[in-house]
Amino acid sequence: MLPNDFPPKSTVYEYYRNWQKDGTWSRIHDAMRSKVRAQRGKKPEASAALIDSQSVKTTETRGERGYDGGKKTKGRKRHLLVDTLGLIMCIVITAASVQDRDGAKLVFQQAADQQPQVETVWADSGYSGKLVSWTDDNCPWTLEVVRRPRDQVGF
């Protein structure tokens, strides 16, 4: 379903796979994120980030799947580290059954080398507990768990 002026799909796919393997897509993404941040008046590299996850339903396709009992969803879970503008810094896909704290460790391990300028990562209460001390021991940033005010109702 490529436009008529594109090369054959096998050629396009070969370029896509090669660029994925050699990191070209990641470099393009990171360069674009830096440009967007600069256009918004921010430093090109973020010093603060947020982590969260989202469970999504999947069909009977290949790959990891699991059941997220909290969301009552069978499928996969996206664990995202984003900057304060919501731009993706790191993403890890797991089975939905992977706990947020365990997924965060995977994200942090991947992001530690890629995002050395980050000083603080904020997270919701789903990331509290032993993850905070693990982060102190294994990551170059501080994990701050932000709790919802007790009197707050809804989102």
Check residue 102 and give its pLDDT.
94
Strand partners, 74: 67
pTM assigned to the model: 0.83
Query: At a CB cut-off of 8 Å and minimum separation 6, what does 108 contact?
Result: 81, 121, 135, 138, 139
Q: What is the pLDDT of residues 26-74, one digit of tens each?
A: 999 999 999 999 999 999 999 999 999 998 887 666 667 777 767 777 8
CB within 8 Å of 149: residues ≥ 6 apart: none
- Interval 126-152: pLDDT, tens: 898 899 999 999 999 999 999 888 888
Give CA separation, 18 vs 25, 71, 106, in Å: 10, 36, 24
Using an 8 Å Cβ cutoff, are 47 and 118 in contact? yes
| 56 neighbors 78 (Cβ within 8 angstroms) | yes
